[in-house]
Amino acid sequence: MMLSTASIEKMLRLIGALFLSVSMAPAHAQLKPGQPAPAFVLDAAFAGKPYRFSLADKLKNGPVIVYFYPKAFTSGCSIEANLFAEAADDFAKYGATVVGVSGDDIATLEKFSLGPCGGKFAVASDADRTVMRAYDATLFFTSSMASRISYVVTPDSKIYFVHSSLNPDQHVSSTLAAVKRWHARQ
């Protein structure tokens, strides 16, 4: 059965509309402000170098932005990483650490940490999805990938702020604003 050009174009428009509606829909986050943040230690990369990232260790220095993203080197994830890299010095002014978490392998993250992350913050590999599940940060239609959810975790290991949206544009500005509010109250 051959489809006409008009039928193919209509089908592509429908697929595009479906993709757009899914990509703009809010992600789902179970953890709420005030709840305990699950502790974790993961293999990570910072400026191309592998190491072990410990949430508990980083919380000793101040708040931690734990942001989950679906896949390194995809357009939305690269945009988000660039935005976090551009704001890294602003986060540091408030003693905040940024870590991105995905299911990517560490070799991929070593490259990603140098590329879109600009060597400015760590990205961690949650290959078995344990941390994603603990933070209820898997995509609603597949548990094999992280959703796009950003948490601000305070030094007392509590969730202070959550930004949940598959659109990468507001994660950095909203988490930075939350860090500033937290810092002002200290």
Q: Quick one: 131 exposed, middle or buried, by C-beta within 10 A (0-12, 13-18, 19+)?
A: buried
Q: Report the candidate in 21, 162, 151, 133 with the shortest Cα–Cα distance to residue 96.
A: 151
Q: CA-to-CA distance for 62 and 122, rounded, in angstroms?
A: 15
The pairing of strands 49-54 and 64-68 is unpaired
Could you tell me which residues come within 8 angstroms of residue 149 by beta carbon, excluding any fewer than 6 positions away?
27, 29, 67, 68, 135, 137, 162, 163, 164
Note whether 167 and 158 are within 8 A (CB): no
Tokens representing 157 are 């290991």
Task: Please give the biggest Cα pair distance in the chain.
Answer: 68
- Catalytic entry in 27, 31, 66, 77: 77
Residue 117 falls in the annotated catalytic set: no
Catalogue the active-site residues.
Answer: 77
